[in-house]
Structure 1
Amino acid sequence: MSQATKRKHVVQEVLGEHMVPSDQQQIVKVLRTPGNNLHEVETAQGQRFLVSMPSKYRKNIWIKRGDFLIVDPIEEGEKVKAEISFVLCKNHVRSLQKEGHWPEAFSEVAEKQNSMNRQYHESEEESEEEEEDEDEEAA
């Protein structure tokens, strides 16, 4: 499989699929990225540890501070205690909240991000309307 085809399938998997964490999996928030495909995360209970990014996501999916992930625990790790199994986008977070699978500790953070995104898009729309008005006045 070519690199482009692989990337297409991985992106479709992340954007399209709706995933609910199993009993062993947990939802975590990314705190920082120290490098080497490792990410420091925090659980809803406040526990911090490193997670590794599987090779299928490397150079295909980008994770930044504040993103939410579903991780699988790794038994043999001392520092790295889990592996990323799914990257949650905004739509996934909303659907998990509606279904009641979202941890209460992350509810405030997710709502803040949603309201910030709404404010950004509203201000963007207002500036577009102002530009259209200016263009009409100039004509």
Structure 2
Amino acid sequence: MIPIVMFLAGAFFSSPVALSETIADETVQNPETLAEYVREYYADTPILADIAWCESSMRHFNKEGEILRGVADSDDLGVMQINRRYHEKDAVELGFDIYSLNGNLAYAKHLYEKQGTRPWKASSPCWGKIAKG
């Protein structure tokens, strides 16, 4: 499992932070930064990595070490800005912890498989440009 300390350090420093050699998700192989981890996690759905960049600048925690919350809506959580008001109950029932990095990423993938990019429509002016780029 990736130590939370490494991600907290990544939230404070702009330079790459080395991650643990053992990663719970076998599809991700030794990323150097959280952004790299997210891109590798979403290698088969790169639009989700673009969305993560636009939603959170690839951050899961704020400078205080707390889960990143949305500016427009403080119920939006983490790297994928999953809204707890709309999604927490379903996420829990499906076994996803949207407060954890992997749970946030996995639930976002689940949402994408069910609804496409609709849950992130508000940020589409940003990720739409990146995806076409």
Tell me whether the two structures share a fold, i.e. TM-score over 0.5: no
Greater helix proportion: 2
**Higher alpha-carbon Rg:** 1
Greater strand proportion: 1
TM-score for both structures, normalised by structure 2: 0.33
